[in-house]
Amino acid sequence: MDSGGSTDMTLAFELEALKALADPNAVFNNARQWTEYVGVVSEKPTYVVTNFTRKHRVRQDFFSGPRGVEESLENIAQQFDTERHVFVGVDEEDEAVAEATGWEFLQVENAAEAAGWTLATDSPEAEAAEEASRDDWP
């Protein structure tokens, strides 16, 4: 992804956007090359985000904690004073939150295409994992 030559950017992923990527750890490692800070925000409880990031070995500079996405983005923008604040999300609700907080919005599919990231739906491993997981598991 080209940030116009500047790495003075804070990049926040909505948890669902991060889940849409085949290799979240590789995405974060790649993003660190052209951003100053990268992390995850979500309406989900903190332990859900923590469990996901640990499982995928994602080292984040920030996370939303017990706050909602909108409050988290506002706090992150104040705490991490960079030229750009970019929020990667999945739907119109995410886009509206970005607009309300003054963040740039990127749809996860567009971000993945621009940065060369693989979406989970594009990878053979994701299809195999999906088939292996069972909805009827107790």
User: CB count, 10 Å around CB of 87?
Assistant: 27
pLDDT tens-place values along the chain, 138 residues long: 444 456 899 999 999 999 999 999 999 999 999 999 999 999 999 999 999 999 999 999 998 878 899 999 999 999 999 999 999 999 999 999 999 999 999 999 999 999 999 999 876 554 444 444 444 444
User: Whose CA is closest to 41, among 88, 108, 7?
Assistant: 88
Query: What are residue 63's phi and psi, to 5 degrees?
Result: -150, 165
Identity at 111, one-letter amino acid code: A
pTM of the predicted model as reported, rounded to 2 decimal places: 0.84
